[in-house]
Amino acid sequence: MPSPPSLTPDVVYAPPPDLSLTPVWLDDDLVVLDKPSGLLSVPGRGADRADCMLSRAEARWPGVQVVHRLDMATSGLLVFGRHDAAQRALSLAFAGRHSLKRYEAVVHGVVGPDAGEIDLPLITDWPRRPLQKVCHDQGKPSLTRFEVTERRPDLGWSRVALTPVTGRSHQLRVHLLAIGHPIVGDPLYGPGELATAPVPGRLLLHARALGLPHPADGRAMQWACPVPF
């Protein structure tokens, strides 16, 4: 039986210019890069979606391998292994939840509590994939911690720091939608643009900090990059 068509909006892929990559961190085992919004982490379907963070990294550092991904619209830190052993070690760290991930987002509305947890199970919304949804019957456990860092009732938005404990697809986007505060600029889960947003024309979600054990010796590593909004 053929798969049902996706009901998500058609998106014309227009990646940002391929500027010279300045690594946040580089050594013999790994490279950490700051991915811009609008660029795929890995190649998509079709030749028109071959340009991605992986292809750009491979052109500069042959042999790099994917460890994790960010949504196309999300900006921020991506780590790549530079050889097989490093890729395996880094992937195991993510799978075993030995990574520390911090995001920042601007959301619609004024978030009431100063901090809290969003503990809602998620599952693929199959007829509307790649969308995800909350499902208490079949969803996978999903947990996000948040802290409000700025409220702008005059502009209609709040800034939040986010810590995903689990790593489900679109987790932050769906969890924030579920509490009534979708991320500004999200064409899939929210009302989209906000005239008073700090930066127009993009999803205001950024992976700003990342911590992992080094694949060579296990020492704790942490990296950060500026939030562009």
With contact defined as beta carbons under 8 Å apart, do 205 and 105 qualify?
Answer: yes
71, 84, 125, 217: the active-site residue: 71
The single residue listed with the structure tokens 């060579």 is 216
CA distances to 19, 70, 102, 105, 218 from 207, in Å: 20, 8, 6, 9, 22
3-state secondary structure of 26: strand
Closest alpha carbon to 155 in 200, 124, 119, 113: 200
Confirm whether 51 is a catalytic residue: no
3-state helix, strand, coil in the chain (%, to 5): 15, 30, 55
List the catalytic residues: 71
